[in-house]
Amino acid sequence: MSASAPQDLFPTSRAYAEMQPLRIPPGWMIGLNDLRVGMAVETDGPPGLASTLFNATHAGRRFNIDVEVEAGAEGAFRLTVTYAPWPRDGRGRRIQDQPLSFGDETEVVHAFATGSYEELVAQLEHWIARCTVWAREGN
């Protein structure tokens, strides 16, 4: 019997088994997914210290979704949906070949905070679905 390669062991690993299953349509690039089934906000941590748990970008729709958890007695999961408007030329037409950037022009289109992990996951999937089809600006 031959030993399994490390990449063959990952699907049965604890790290993989605890990952939060999410429904994510095509077009999204997941930069970070550290969501674990049944997570809870740490109430013992230093207040105000936040860590990113999830980050995804849909370049075609120009949305970014970020999920953080803030520790402490008032801690919560925070979901932020941002939109990067299309750069425009002098006549107001979209400039198509510009790289996507979430800089000064970025708009926060939704911010949500909750202590409930189940509510966070429901909101996250809702906003992923909505932003997959939402066109914020015309041509």
Residue 23 has pLDDT above 90, yes or no: yes
SS3 sequence of 113-136: EECCHHHHHHHHHHHHHHHHHCCC
Q: How confident is the model at residue 3 (pLDDT cuts 50, 70, 90)?
A: low
- Terminal C-alpha separation, the chain: 60
Enumerate the domain spans of the chain. Answer: 24-133
Is the model more confident about 3 or about 17? 17
pLDDT, one tens digit per residue, over 88-132 is: 889 988 888 888 888 888 999 999 999 999 999 999 999 999 999
Confidence at 15, pLDDT banded by 50, 70, 90:
low
Residues 6+ apart with CB under 8 A from 90: none
Mean pLDDT of 26-40: 94
pLDDT tens string 43-86? 776 777 789 999 999 999 999 999 999 987 778 999 999 999 98
Q: How far apart are CA 110 and CA 104, in angstroms?
A: 17
pLDDT of residue 2: 56
Both tokens assigned to 59: 């370049």
Q: Which amino acid is at 125?
A: E
pLDDT at 121: 97
